[in-house]
Structure 1
Amino acid sequence: MKPIIMKSLIEICIISISKSMFRFNIILISLFLGMLGCQPSYSQLRAKGFLISDDGTTEGERWASYLFTHLQKRSENKKVILRMRQEENPPQGYFHLHIQVNPELPFDYEIKNGKAALNLSAKDNRTMLWLIYQLIDRIGEANDYIQNEDLPPAYIDFKDQARNFDFSYREPHYQPNTDSDYAGILGTNQLDADWGIWGHNLSKLVEKREASHAKLDGKPMPEQLCFSSPDLLEQTKAYIVDNYGDGGLGHGNHFMLAPEDNAIAFTCEACTAAGNKVGDASAAVFAFLGKISALFPNHQFFTTVYGTVKSPPKGKLPSNVGVLLSTIDLPKGVSFKDAKEFNVFKKKVNTWTLKSSKLYLWDYSMNFDDYLTVQPSLLSMQAQWKDFKALGIKGIFLNASGYDYSSLDDVKTYVAAALMNDVDLPVEQLLRAYLHRFYPKSASILALYLIDQEKQSFQGKGYGMYAGFADIQKTYLLADRFANSYKELEKLLPQVTGLERKKLQKLLLGMGFSKLQLAYQKGLESGGAFEIKNDQVRVKADILKIVEDLRAGFSANGIKMYKEADGDISNYLVAWKSYSGWGQQRNRLTASQVKWIQPGDNNKEALHTCLNGILGFPQDYQQGWFTSNEDIAFEVNFNDLQGTKGMFIRFLVNEKHRFNVPTTIEIHQSGKLINKLKFGLIKEEESPVKEIVIPFQGVDLSKPLLVRIQKASEENKRLAIDELQILH
């Protein structure tokens, strides 16, 4: 995610209009409405040509001209698309399209049918742009002379209707939606276009002055802002005026004003007077929002209920102030039926509903530790959003892979955008329509796999937001179906051309990544990525060929990340290529010789990860590492390994995820402490992997040995180990 969201240089006609600009052309409207009375289906949009008129307003004329221009561009015969002012007596068999933008419309859009006529009304320009492209696609379906193959399939039927979107703010934060033109066609919002400030970035936009710093027990804290500071208010005001103006004439924007992402709650005299408490800065933040929102009534201001913003204000918030609630604690990939977490969330929403009419959600639709394995999310998305709608949620920011590619993100963007408009639309129908349009040759293969995957995941355990591949295998991969689909798509690729080929190539690269991950998980087993040569563990030659093919493919297709944090795909591939050079000896210790004690009695996951003969990758804690928030303890019975001189264990060092070496390792035998090793924390730049040798001096290898590994208590450190290896 970009650290600072500035106003987009590309504006795609999403400027709201002033009520004072709206006026009806009474004669034209009366003439048109006189033709109403029939109720055609969209198949009745089949016509010899189209006649386009407007309501006589500036905006109506603008959008009628837009529709006229874009229909003409999509037709080789320009004479089949006419403007009313160009033709007093339209040819027989032409269909009449009338366009009007009415800011006083009680709905987001309205469609009225007449005899060979259609009246389209929208409340604002964003909606009219979306409505026009829905119409163009339907016209293209009904008439061969209008090209629509490049447009996302329309999902409204153009029967008589007047409705509001289910959510007023709609952003599926996938890579396709970061394209401004495409977002306009989908009718969605964008961080870059709609937010002047996003996240915890206010401090990056104001000067770092002591007058705006928070105080804690009288001491200035430059790492946190003081929301009671007049200086911070003036600086924020100046930033908005200089970059976005006052938001008049429909140019209003969104601004996220939140404290820094840390636990410091400012308690200066003014903040305490406002109502701040230890650990809770809510009162001063909402007081600040009240002041800034009064200065800019045409802009929208938000904060997040997160960190030190915990408590609702005493009174109701101004109409242009809202809050963003996170769904991070809710289950993903399943319905909320019988979910205790949702009952807690519901109470939270009900509390905030009393304070603000603008409740938006920061929702999630991604396994952020794997962008490339195809992940189901659409059925659960629909089920959960129905519940959110019932709670009165007004907007959804759907956090996904953002500016990076994720497998089939185009499909998910389309379906998510449609559901944000109308959460009751049939997911399977949307999915098939999009695949038929953009994956015509491979649609049947993809639909079979995706729909099956969606249903099984939705009825099962769902997915984890930070799940490693071992967990993915247990939840949503469907390994056999995946393997068959991959083979079929790979076989089909030479027959595919154009845009579908480009999309399919990227998808197959993502699936190739998943295939490589499957081989890693199988390790030294049949079908695994590794083999023993000269008593050393090496990557098989055919796997290295796959790695090189993926490297070339990722580079050619601009795929750079495979996960959110530390996800550079080139580093992942380098680990594969360098593995054989690590000099790993075959591990003679087996799971039958180890009894796992902590965490989890006889922990099968720990035994498999630490004794499968494969080392973890340094850049990824999900790749071959057993991770623990607790101390680790296990018992070893060496049996016939009497020549063993010691044991060595590798520890991952990753500061971002709090992994480091232990403070002590103790060796116990027969209830006695035999040896105790002490260690100091190390920096990640010193070594991302630290190998620690445990000598077995004074140890009787005929008896079991207890090993206790104590994690560091500083900053709540964690432990990550891969293979338990023995020295000869």
Structure 2
Amino acid sequence: MENMINTFFCTLMLFLHPGCNSAKDIVLVENGKARHQIVLPAEATPAEKRAAGILRDHLTKMSGATFRQVSENAYREGDAAIFIGNTGHTEKFGEEKIKGEGFLIATDDKHLYIRGGSGKGVVYGVYTLLEQYFGCRKYAAGPACTPSKKTIGIRPLITDQQEPQFVYRETYYPAPLDAEYQEWHKLHSFEDLWGLWGHSFFKLVPPGQYFSGHPEYYALVNGKRQASQLCLSNDQVFRIVTDYFRKAIADNPDAIYWSISPEDGTGYCTCDRCSLADKEEGSHSGSLIRFVNRVAAQFPAQQFTTLAYTYTLQPPARTRPAANVIIMLSSIDAYRNQPLASAPSAAVFRKALADWKKVSASIFIWDYTTQFTNYLAPFPDYFLLQQNLQYFADNGVSGVFSQGSGATYSDMAELNAYLQAKILWQPKAGIDNTFSDFMNGYYGPAAPFITKYLQALARNLQSAKVPLDIYGSPVNNHTDYLSPAAIDEYSTLLDQAEKAAGDNTALAEKVYKARLPLEYTVLQQSRLYGTEKYGYLVPSGNSFVPNPKWAERVKRFVQQAQKAGVTELAEGGLSPEAYGQEWEQLLARPWLPSLAFRKKVTLLHPFTPEYTAKKEATLTDGLTGGKDFSLNWLYTYGNDLVATIDLGQAQKIGGIQLNFLQDARHNIFLPTAIIIEVSTDGQSFQPAARQAVGAVAEEDFSAHVETYKLAARANARFVRVTAHCLPQMPAWRGNDKKPAVCCDEIFVN
């Protein structure tokens, strides 16, 4: 299937990489017959044997030729050969060690030589030979594109030595989960390199096992032990951790890295000993680095990673990370519409990187290239990828984990993975050629239009001068680069791409995948527009009903998302099936009339603009929200919601209905009390109703909506609703942010 998809490109490769460029070329295969044999070292390593097999299989697939493979001690001097690995014959090009997983591709006037450094270097060399010299390509998971050539040649006197800029290179998208793709593009996987990865405190000392009997193993927060982080000054914690590693390392001796890292969140320990360490070091990373160094000293042959993230972002003033401790620094707070080297939002990250460089020679970056709250939202950072990775390289970073959408499909996932893989290997390589190569090879005749679509997205983002937030929403960009006018522009280009795909079903499917983010944006924004133009509701008498075409449109989107490999629409979010069910419920829900519909709202405290696209009108637009706090909720951070609605004239009211969201993961909690007041003049308000809300449940991280109905019989023009925000974050939530309160609609009847 993939070869059929790439017929256009493979045909082009015959012209760009002909079998023999001139009479002086070294001819490896002539008219389907191998002229060379493959020669391996007498004691070939598994990597060298694998490299030979990969080359042999692809050359055979290209030409039909059968290659003889021999050991160097059985090789007859003078026969034409492809020498793979550290053979004696390869020494003519120098015996110096190739850096890391680098490789050498070389030719003299008769033979071809491929030698690798450590690890899979020789395998990377073979894949590079296939791609750069023989025209093979692998753009995504599935079979590679292998052009048909009965005669295969290569130039003489080549010396191509490549060495990686970064010792650790991972781009986290669906395609690199394919084993061949990963090797082809010289990528790593944390599953392969790490014996223990990521946020690891509770993997080392599980609260379910220890907290009830030994709360002192965990952080002291606001005077109470909480299972939010570990107490790093506790000697028993140190013993448990070292015991864990002693067994885990013995069970997995090939693992290169081991993580000792805080959980995701704050809630750090403030006991006397931890606090003293942090005070002496001038940073909360002080107690962390002291602890990690202490563990690392017990296992000098292993390498340990720890996170510089949230409260541990800044380095300690006195203690340097040990030689076998690697700092993994997060860039999570930076927006992605500007290069990290200059973006104001990345200033804290840049300072942290500069400061960590002063104390550590081993720094990895945990970077982000997708929108975690909406994986399918257009995320036009495509043309900034090289600048950011080059910035890391220029600043001595030795490894990069570029976190995309993981196993689920997301906006331009194939392109993102391909570009990042190439740049991670050689950050200074010409990215324009790589981009064009991918677009032409993967999209064929549709490439010019999809290229223009991506360029228009990026151009409109820059013109809008708005943040590109990894926790943003396409709904909040409905007035800028994802406005209806901009969407019309993009749709026209994608229509042209579909037309260019013609009857090529496989290519048309690729275009549909590229279009999914735009369709997702239209569906999400239709919830915001609601009863207005571009909304999913249309007038019906004095009410509104769903657009009769909307159910089929949602169904088609769900089917295409499933086919594209979308498993969740957000990090920990809905599957396409669940999204479709959510829409079914929404379309079946009758629209509720309200005396407050489209009436003016005045707020005492400001809303949070990043999450409140319709501003004050959110409370009277006739629309309710779901479990997504960024859509149709008025988000008030750290303050009570105090909203006054002007009904336009004094009239009889009988009650108030409101919804509030509970989503502790995003620091959103139900109000502690709801108070209704009424007035005829807007100056003097009288109490009309009051309802207390139950205490916050312990350890409740589920997102759910609660509805409250309050009887409030009165004659009034003005209705004031006060929802008291939780005064402080529950201790179990484990961070030092303020709680928020979210209300979606105030129905007055």
Using structure 2 for the length normalisation, give the TM-score: 0.78
Match of 1:560 in 2: 567
- Name the CA distance, whole Å, in 2 between partners of 1:686 and 1:440: 45
**Alignment map for 1:224-239 (pairs within 5 Å):** 224-229=229-234, 231-239=236-244
Match of 2:16 in 1: none
For the pair 1:150 / 2:159, whether they are aligned, the reply is no
For the pair 1:432 / 2:451, whether they are aligned, the reply is no
Q: 2:659 aligns with which of 650, 662, 670?
A: 650
For the 8 Å contact 2:538–2:547, the answer to whether it is kept is yes
Match of 1:364 in 2: 368
Match of 2:65 in 1: 78
Once the two structures are TM-superposed, the CA of residue 546 in structure 1 deviates from its matched residue by: 1.4
- Name the CA distance, whole Å, in 2 between partners of 1:575 and 1:64: 49
Match of 1:674 in 2: 686
Distance 1:275 1:344, change over 3 A: closer
Once the two structures are TM-superposed, the CA of residue 700 in structure 1 deviates from its matched residue by: 3.8
- Name the CA distance, whole Å, in 2 between partners of 1:45 and 1:302: 47
For the 8 Å contact 2:608–2:636, the answer to whether it is kept is no
- Name the CA distance, whole Å, in 1 between partners of 2:387 and 2:55: 39
For the pair 1:298 / 2:314, whether they are aligned, the reply is no
For the 8 Å contact 2:412–2:514, the answer to whether it is kept is yes
Moved more, 118-127 or 230-239: 230-239
The DSSP-based 3-state class of the residue aligned with 1:649 is strand
Match of 2:675 in 1: 665
**Alignment map for 1:236-255 (pairs within 5 Å):** 236-245=241-250, 251-255=254-258
For the 8 Å contact 2:341–2:391, the answer to whether it is kept is no
Offset from partner CA, 1:664-709 (integer Å, 9 cap, x none): 33526443331162421466899933333465544442xx555444
The DSSP-based 3-state class of the residue aligned with 1:370 is coil
Amino acid at match of 2:456: D
Once the two structures are TM-superposed, the CA of residue 364 in structure 1 deviates from its matched residue by: 0.9
For the 8 Å contact 1:536–1:583, the answer to whether it is kept is no
Match of 1:724 in 2: 746
Match of 1:36 in 2: none
Percent sequence identity is 18
Q: 2:708 aligns with which of 692, 697, 708?
A: 692
The DSSP-based 3-state class of the residue aligned with 1:639 is strand
Match of 2:470 in 1: 465
Distance 1:295 1:74, change over 3 A: farther
For the pair 1:483 / 2:491, whether they are aligned, the reply is yes
Once the two structures are TM-superposed, the CA of residue 541 in structure 1 deviates from its matched residue by: 1.8
Once the two structures are TM-superposed, the CA of residue 301 in structure 1 deviates from its matched residue by: 0.3
Match of 2:290 in 1: 287
The DSSP-based 3-state class of the residue aligned with 1:538 is strand
Match of 2:396 in 1: 392
Q: 1:141 aligns with which of 108, 111, 135?
A: 135
Distance 1:152 1:192, change over 3 A: farther
For the pair 1:710 / 2:704, whether they are aligned, the reply is no
Distance 1:470 1:46, change over 3 A: farther
- How many pairs were matched up? 672
Match of 1:445 in 2: 449
Distance 1:317 1:489, change over 3 A: same
Match of 2:191 in 1: 192
Aligned Cα root-mean-square deviation (Å) = 4.0
For the 8 Å contact 1:674–1:699, the answer to whether it is kept is no
Structure 1 segments unaligned to the other structure (5+ residues): 1-39
Amino acid at match of 1:713: P
Match of 1:132 in 2: 126
**Alignment map for 1:493-512 (pairs within 5 Å):** 495-498=503-506, 500=507, 503-512=510-519
For the 8 Å contact 2:642–2:720, the answer to whether it is kept is yes
Match of 1:373 in 2: 377
Distance 1:512 1:215, change over 3 A: closer
Q: 1:582 aligns with which of 589, 596, 603?
A: 589
For the pair 1:409 / 2:413, whether they are aligned, the reply is yes
Once the two structures are TM-superposed, the CA of residue 284 in structure 1 deviates from its matched residue by: 4.3
Moved more, 473-482 or 568-577: 473-482
Match of 1:548 in 2: 555
- Name the CA distance, whole Å, in 1 between partners of 2:652 and 2:129: 79
Distance 1:697 1:380, change over 3 A: same
**Alignment map for 1:150-169 (pairs within 5 Å):** 150=144, 160-169=159-168
For the 8 Å contact 2:596–2:645, the answer to whether it is kept is no
The DSSP-based 3-state class of the residue aligned with 1:170 is strand
Structure 2 segments unaligned to the other structure (5+ residues): 1-20, 88-94, 148-154, 730-737
Q: 1:539 aligns with which of 543, 546, 550?
A: 546
Once the two structures are TM-superposed, the CA of residue 322 in structure 1 deviates from its matched residue by: 1.0
Match of 1:17 in 2: none
Distance 1:537 1:723, change over 3 A: farther
The DSSP-based 3-state class of the residue aligned with 2:666 is coil
Using structure 1 for the length normalisation, give the TM-score: 0.80
For the 8 Å contact 1:258–1:304, the answer to whether it is kept is yes
Amino acid at match of 2:670: V
For the pair 1:331 / 2:344, whether they are aligned, the reply is no
Q: 2:109 aligns with which of 108, 112, 115?
A: 115
Once the two structures are TM-superposed, the CA of residue 292 in structure 1 deviates from its matched residue by: 3.3
Offset from partner CA, 1:483-528 (integer Å, 9 cap, x none): 2244345556662244x45544544444433332243343223443
Once the two structures are TM-superposed, the CA of residue 152 in structure 1 deviates from its matched residue by: 10
Moved more, 675-684 or 443-452: 675-684
Once the two structures are TM-superposed, the CA of residue 353 in structure 1 deviates from its matched residue by: 1.5
Distance 1:486 1:665, change over 3 A: farther
Distance 1:461 1:424, change over 3 A: farther
Amino acid at match of 2:705: V
The DSSP-based 3-state class of the residue aligned with 2:322 is coil
Match of 2:646 in 1: 637
Offset from partner CA, 1:607-635 (integer Å, 9 cap, x none): 3433433322x222223222221333344
For the 8 Å contact 2:599–2:645, the answer to whether it is kept is no
Match of 2:10 in 1: none
